[in-house]
Amino acid sequence: MKTPQNNGIDPEAGKSWVNPGQPSTSVAKQNIHGSKLLLCIWWDQRVIYYELLKPNETITGDRYRLQLIRLSHALKERQSEYSKRHDKVILLHDNARPHVAKPVKMYLGTLKWDVLPHPLYSPDIALSDYHLFRSLAHDLTDQKFTSYENCQKWVDLWISSKDKFFQRGIRLLPERWQKVVECDGKYFE
């Protein structure tokens, strides 16, 4: 039976109310989450390089290789800062397909960076989950962006406000990584 206030459409079910035996009309639900963007970020004690991808863009092996090229340039721009603290670059990334694609492996070989082996599924060393994305998610809670550019500006400001935010997580990483390797990727507390 139709109700006058909603023209017979139940917004929860996405269907219309009709008399028995009559066909119902489906109604598309609104997208409550809006467009999603992907933030790609490399960090140690500070954010070194990041890219906010445009809507519907994704990571491929070729794109990841380009990002590593840009990361390498960002490190070279900060050469004096990093050469005082590091004698080499050690990269920890997971085993996602773009990260292990042939062009990526070849490029990493030319950089002479140490790439740490990453156990197949090891959330215990996913420091981004705890030291980066939890803080980002908290600060995004009440944000509503009307454009990609507004979102990009907000991300730029957020990252610039996090100077030395990641120091504790990075200091814990070698110990946690070793523990994950010793536990053969099994969970630990």
Q: Which two tokens stand for residue 47?
A: 């954010």
pLDDT band at 2 (very low <50, low <70, confident <90, very high): very low
Q: In this structure, are residues 173 and 127 in contact, taking their beta carbons and an 8 Å threshold? A: yes
- What CATH architecture applies to the domain 39-137+162-182? 2-Layer Sandwich (3.30)
For 1, 18, 25, the CA distances from 9, given in Å and listed in that order, are 10, 9, 9
User: pLDDT per residue over 30-70, tens digit each?
Assistant: 666 667 889 998 887 778 899 999 988 999 999 999 999 99
Number of Cα atoms under 13 Å in the Cβ half of residue 41: 21
Q: Is 61 helix (H, G, I), strand (E, B) or coil?
A: helix
Is residue 125 scored above 60 in pLDDT? no
Ranges of each domain in the chain? 39-137+162-182
